[in-house]
Amino acid sequence: MEYWENIEAILESLNLEEKITLLSGKTFSATASYPEKNVPSIKTADGPNGVRAPATSRDVYSACFPAACSLAATFDIELARQFGQALADEAHRKDANCILGPTVCIHRHPLGGRNFESFSEDPFLSGKMAAQVIQGLQENGVAATIKHFVANEQETCRTTVDETISERALREIYLRPFEIAIKESNPWAVMTDYNLVNGIHCDSNEFLLSDTLRGAWGWEGLIMSDWGGTNSVANALHAGLDLEMPGPPKVRKLSTVVQALEKEEIPEEVINERAKAVLRLALKLDSLKKHNLSRPSEEKMDYVKFIRKAGACGMVLLKNEDDILPLSKEKVRGKRIALIGYAKDALIHGGGSASVNAYYKVTPEDGLKSALGHDVEFTYAKGAHRERLLPPLANSSATGKVVGADGAPGFTLSFFESGKNHPVFIKNGWPSSHYSPLGSNESSERSIELVGHFTPEETSDHYISCSGFGPTQVYIDKSPIFSQDGNTQDPMGSLFNAVREPEIRHHFIAGNTYEICIRSEPPRNLGLAVLEGRSGVRLGFSPVSVHDADLRGEAVRVAQEADYAIVFTGHDSQWETEGQDQASFNLPHHQNELVSAVTAVNKDVIVVNVTGVAIAMPWIDNVRGLIQAWFPGQEHGNAIADIITGKVSPEGHLPVSFPRNIENAPAHGNFPGEYVDGELKVKYAEGVFVGYRHYDRVPREQLNFQFGHGLSYTNFALGDVKIENMTNEAFNIVTDVQNVGSMVGGVLIQLYIGRVQPSVEHPVKMLAAFKKIRLEPGQKRPVELSVFTRDFAYFDEKHKKWMVEEGEYEFSLGLSSVNILKAGQFYQTRMTWDP
């Protein structure tokens, strides 16, 4: 008997209590199971750019793949599919069968804290890339969970923010990538988000879940909440939310759901439907495993090769004045290259759900030294601090040694029941002065205490910072030095190490030993169910000499003595993270001033920027080379070296626009919103004019770099263009492309469609097709781009229809949204579609 034929029988065998239990997680990452009744568990794992399982365990290591923004910059759908396959392979090895990804929310504003985890400002590109990731996962027996449904474009107050979005903008921009991916790849699960759309929480929004997702789109998978994102019992069940995560439940407690049934707020038929959705996915995954369609391959996938290739393919060469790049061995032999900034730091991922304990990390310095060997003399200067917060105190720290109560390296971590003086249990050898409750029930309803005996390396003042989820105190030799009297003011920021921490100074004498004790109580009424009652704490620590060092002066000296200076700028996972929007459009720690100082003493400066978002570049006219590297995964340094040295010709293109100033962003003034009666509200006042749809209508000077921009070390030419097989609903654009340069390379052909007579109500043009091809020097190949009329339709709010109006349209074929090489016109008859 096939699994779907058994669902009704299993459902019939479950009593009401068991069916209700299926509607919420059992643990932080798994659903309930009843083996005696043939009900298996769904085992989830975060997976935006690497499989974290179980959750945030420090003992689990994972492959760290390029972030979604980096993958999108490749515009390579086959690479996206391979990424999904690689994630599936990792999931099998970690006994997870449901990946919480991909993320397809739109890059609405450059300060979005989680933009890096999503693909693009363009819904068409986002949907196409996501569809391939999903197919790669599910053809290998692992469920994809496309998220966050819908419009999770900011982290500020993300659990409570109310977004006012027109139906047209909602359908054309924010729902569109979900629609494309769902119709093309049928993900087996969808995750709702925390925010409200037009006054209704997404997990309880019948228009989104019932009318659109399951109604108009005909999708039949499992709908789960974001972690802690279930906001009601009856309303969410009615709307279509099948599964509250994580477990044990905070909202769908058995007694609460039974009470709702008794009050006739929900009928039992709704419970049955929701339980059936959970059963359907659990049994499907179990069946795939039993039929050997869900298991790791015999040989471990070559992650090293794939991640290095994908990371390099996503890097975008933004500027290459006088062909300063590549720095080949022949070009730089005998030269001195200054590596400045984050050359010794592998900024491989953003923070939050995308963080993984990577198997290894390759720094840019490692990659360049490996690539150029002994042909070059390298010098180094840090140039700027990296961390947003002071680093945790750890036994391995250069500041000194820490031993716990047992005399072994590390801290002693103790858990106490409320009001009790004796610990319930103790963990010795805790590696640092940081404990997060994410993914663990150890601290639920318990206070925690971290104790370490610290012997400093130097006599000096040290900075100490601290934050806890609940009331927190810090003691040195039994004397209090810090107190946080209540809950954190920013639970999401605290969860992902992005909350501001007050800093104090304390004097230590080298060789003396000091007892450092950190105590934290569980928070109450925190406003975030997933953290309610869970203790967590973080203490930062740094000598004043390290914290206040003049790093820029050293960088200027090193740059002045070098033939070339490569400045590595960017964000680490504390600056760009889930839980916190960007603090500024400018790079942190005065990195802009660092670049300017270096360009003042060296004319051959190359900047390699590692962020998932556009940034301010006030120094842009003074640098000769600029590479946008995104977060390229654990092969970070090798991928960068491949591009810098010319082993690989850059072929990435921007999936987002880079405005010159933050005031130029289309959502400026409407991000992150305004407080009304204590609640944050944001108007998506820019409507459908997001990203290049906006910049096409304003002076070019508002942009540093346009959507789709990307340079190469070789050159390409397009041949004649013609339209073939034209019908009302589809046609093909046919041309040929030739590599007319001297190096093998990849080229991205972008096709945009717009009206010949522009209208203020509609974008000038929209991306309607794209294709990446790779060519040897002199090689020519035909290119065919399939265009579907529905992909350049707009949503008519009055008639509640998708529509293409009759008239003359123009196609633009080029290498970016601005660099158009070929154009032509065609006549389109009127077409309409139901939503």
Q: Give the per-residue pLDDT at 2.
A: 62
Can you give the pLDDT at residue 387? 81
Query: Which of 115-119, 450-454, 486-490 is the least confident region?
Result: 486-490
Are both 556 and 647 inside the same structural domain?
A: yes
pLDDT at 300: 56
Claim to verify: residue 479 and residue 527 sit in the same structural domain:
yes
Asked if the bond preceding 54 is cis, omega within 30° of 0, the reply is yes
Name the nearest CA neighbour of 22 among 259, 255, 256, 245.
245
- Specify the number of domains making up the chain: 3
Cβ contacts of residue 321 below 8 Å, gap of 6+? Answer: 624, 625
Q: Quick check: is 416 in a domain? A: no
**Are 457 and 514 contained in the same domain?**
yes
CATH number at 636 reads 3.40.50.1700
pLDDT of amino acid 59? 72
Does 297 have pLDDT greater than 80?
A: no
Question: Would you state the pLDDT for residue 388?
Answer: 85
| 665 vs 661: CA distance, rounded Å | 7
pLDDT per position as a tens digit, 72-81: 999 999 999 9
Whether 223 shows a pLDDT value over 50: the answer reads yes
Range 258-264 average pLDDT: 96
Question: What is the value of pTM for the model shown?
Answer: 0.94
Q: What six digits make up the tokens of 471?
A: 């009331």
Kindly tell me if the per-residue pLDDT of 4 is higher than 70: no
Distance from C-alpha of 516 to C-alpha of 74, rounded to nearest angstrom: 48
The domain boundary, picked from 607, 624, 652, lies at 652
* Percent of all residues in the chain with a pLDDT value above 70, rounded to a whole number: 97
CA nearest 724: which of 805, 826, 832?
Answer: 826
Q: Which tens digit of pLDDT belongs to each residue from 378-393?
A: 999 999 988 888 999 9
Crossing angle for the helix pair 591-599 and 551-560, to the nearest 10 degrees: 30
Dihedral of the CA atoms 752, 758, 762, 766 (nearest 10)?
0
513 is a domain residue: yes
Query: Measured in Å, how far apart are the chain's first and last C-alpha atoms?
Result: 37
Same domain, 528 and 602: no
pLDDT at 55: 46
Mean pLDDT (the chain, rounded):
93
Give bridge partners of residue 402 from the DSSP assignment. 454
Is residue 428 a contact partner of residue 404, using CB atoms and an 8 Å limit? yes
pLDDT classification of 781: cutoffs 50, 70, 90: very high
Q: What is the pLDDT of residue 1?
A: 47
Instruction: Indicate whether 695 pLDDT > 50.
Output: yes
Question: Do 737 and 772 fall into the same domain?
Answer: yes
Residue 584 is assigned to a structural domain of this protein: yes
Query: Which residues are paired to 813 by β-bridges?
Result: 751, 822
Cβ burial of 248 (10 Å; 0-12, 13-18, 19+) is: middle
Q: What is the mean pLDDT of residues 173-185?
A: 98
Residues 512 and 554 in one domain: no
Band (pLDDT 50/70/90 cuts) for residue 290 is confident
Helices and strands (H, E) in the chain, number of each type:
20, 40
Q: Which two tokens stand for residue 828?
A: 């389109």
Q: Is residue 721 part of a domain?
A: yes
362 and 441 assigned to the same domain: no
Mean pLDDT of 100-115: 97
Q: How confident is the model at residue 707 (pLDDT cuts 50, 70, 90)?
A: very high
Residue 828 domain boundaries: 716-833
Shared domain for 827 and 730, answered yes or no, is yes
Averaged pLDDT, 787-816? 96
Tell me, yes or no, whether 256 lies in a domain.
Answer: no
Tell me what percent of the chain is helix, strand and coil, each rounded to the nearest 5: 25, 30, 45
pLDDT confidence of residue 492: 76
Note whether 555 and 624 are same-domain residues.
yes
Whether residue 302 is predicted with pLDDT greater than 50 in this model: the reply is yes
Tokens 């995308």 belong to which residue?
A: 354
Which of 535, 568, 588 is the last residue in one of the domains? 535
More confident residue, 388 or 142: 142
User: Looking at residues 249-263, what average pLDDT do you find?
Assistant: 96
Give the mean model confidence (pLDDT) for residues 758-768.
96
How do residues 496-554 score in pLDDT, each as one tens digit? Answer: 777 888 999 999 999 999 999 999 999 888 777 777 788 899 999 999 888 888 899 99
Same domain, 496 and 562: no
Alpha-carbon distances of 232 from 35, 251, 686, 806, rounded to whole Å? 29, 7, 31, 46
Q: Is residue 540 part of a domain?
A: no
Average pLDDT over residues 245-267: 95
Instruction: Verify that 443 and 510 share a domain, yes or no.
Output: yes
Question: Does 325 score more than 80 pLDDT?
Answer: yes
Residue 397 confidence class, pLDDT cut points 50, 70, 90:
low
pLDDT at 638: 98
Q: Which residues are catalytic?
A: 226
Q: Is the model more confident about 240 or about 387?
A: 240
Between 298 and 30, name the one with better pLDDT.
30
Same domain, 612 and 636: yes
769/813 Cα distance (integer angstroms): 10
Question: What is the per-residue pLDDT for 289?
Answer: 85
Mean pLDDT of 823-832: 96
The predicted model gives 733-738 an average pLDDT of 97
- Domain contains 281: no
Residue 497's pLDDT is 77
- Candidate from 90-99, 559-568, 681-690 with smallest mean pLDDT: 90-99
**CATH value at residue 738:** 2.60.40.10
Q: Which among 601, 629, 652 is the end of a domain? A: 652
Percent of residues, the chain, with pLDDT higher than 90: 84
Sheet (strand 745-755) strand order:
766-775, 745-755, 807-814, 820-828
The predicted-structure confidence for 426-439, as pLDDT tens digits, reads as follows 999 999 999 988 76
Longest CA–CA span in the chain (Å) reads 84
The whole-number pLDDT of residue 168 equals: 98
Residue 796 located in a structural domain: yes
The CATH number linked to 523 is 2.60.120.260
Average pLDDT over residues 37-45: 95
Confidence class of residue 753 from pLDDT cuts 50, 70 and 90? very high
pLDDT band for 298, please (50, 70, 90 cuts).
Answer: very low
315 close to 652: Cβ distance less than 8 angstroms: yes
* Helix (H) or strand (E) segment spanning residue 476: strand 472-476
